[in-house]
Homo-oligomer: A and B are copies of this chain.
């Protein structure tokens, strides 16, 4: 089943609002095997709305609109689309009574007559219940089965109505469709080319699964997608594919979906009763920030030191001034001393450190921008690793924080 999405709103066209509804709808519809083949955004004006919906209807016969239903939107969407179906508008007594009741309850007064327009709906339309706001959604369908579903634009209302009414309706119609299911395995610290080599070396490959490499600042995600005759059948094939990939990558897959490496490290520490501290130079607090973003991190994370200046590395972490002089702040020796300093000065079981050159300035031929030393001290065993990062200042810092968390994860895994 192919459908089109028409999103309505001046704020969207003007760029003051980012359209997150469309992505939400696409993901949920895909799981029913419903494919969005085109998305169109138009402003709050009758003609552009009618044109966009008419064209979409001609192409697919199935259209979802969002926006233009609210009390302030001059009710353009409903009559414009009714006209495409050759329908007039009728006054809906039931909705008017509901609105009047709501006014009495909320504002302790009678609803003004001016609001009657909001109770107008296209003739022959089906109302879609809105559990999160006052404007009902509308389902309009003709004798040939061509339909338009009109949803509100407010994200909470749109998402609620999609889940409550549209998805169940389409699930029935889409029965027998091929469904699309996907899973995402997350890796970090491996270059995309090496990942591709490992995938190609899997005996028999990863059959029946389409595989996408999605590089981002935290690593490369592997998205597996299958189209199947049922969710169960598709999930079985997905599981087979994911198992093969996990076998090929072993411990390099740190999680699935939206898994956060900071949360994973916290879980491992918690399970083993280990506390954690940080010593941050180029990351400037980012590692701690990522850890403390996770609710409940306080039972594992003690804190640490942001040792941006060399004097602070010495005074608060005990990095010997001679080591700083001899090797420079961005060096294996200093990273190791920082990790151990964080552990010892806070009394934690694990100390985690990062020191590097985030740029844009400060690089040298020997230590260019992107050079970051990472170290972890796990109960006295210290390991260090050198990262050659790239991108802008913030990307270098984000990669450094992720690499530090990954070093801790790997050491804790054995």
Contacts and interface: CB of A to CB of B under 8 A. Distances in A.
A26 B39 contact: no
A151 B346 CA distance: 51
Contact of A361 (B39, B288, B289, B296): B296
A347 B346 CA distance: 20
Interface stretch (A17-25, A97-105, A378-386): A17-25
Contacts of A30: 14-15
Interface stretch (A133-141, A298-306, A402-410): A298-306
Given A285-B287, A303-B312, A308-B301, A397 B293 contact: yes
Contacts of A292: 282-286, 306, 308, 358, 397
A17 B52 CA distance: 23
Interface string A36-47: 111111110000
B295 A285 contact: no
A24 B14 CA distance: 9
A328 to B, nearest CB: 14
B303 A305 contact: yes
A305 B278 CA distance: 10
Which of A12, A282, A305: most chain B CB closer than 10 A? A305
Contacts of A311: 302, 346-347
B37 A39 contact: no
A42 B280 CA distance: 44
B289 A285 contact: yes
B18 A39 contact: no
Given A41-B39, A285-B285, A304-B306, A295 B346 contact: no
Interface string A331-362: 00000000000000111000000000011110
Contacts of A27: 14-16
Interface residues of A, number: 71
Given A306-B278, A306-B285, A316-B346, A39 B23 contact: no
Contacts of A48: 37-38
Contacts of A307: 303
A316 B306 contact: no
Interface string A202-230: 00000000000010000000010000000
Nearest to A41: B39
B284 A288 contact: yes
Given A14-B27, A292-B284, A316 B305 contact: yes
Do most interface residues of chain A lie in helix, strand or loop, or is the interface mixed? mixed
Contacts of A291: 284-285
A264 interface: no
Given A303-B305, A397-B293, A40 B40 contact: yes
A308 B288 CA distance: 9
A315 B345 contact: yes
A13 interface: yes
A115 interface: no
Nearest to A20: B18
Contacts of A39: 12-13, 40-41
Nearest to A345: B316
Which of A30, A36, A41: most chain B CB closer than 10 A? A41
Question: Which 3 pairs from chain A and chain B are nearest by CB?
Answer: A284-B292, A285-B288, A15-B26
Given A285-B306, A302-B308, A316-B345, 11 more contacts: A12-B23, A13-B38, A278-B285, A289-B289, A292-B306, A292-B358, A295-B359, A302-B309, A303-B312, A303-B316, A315-B345
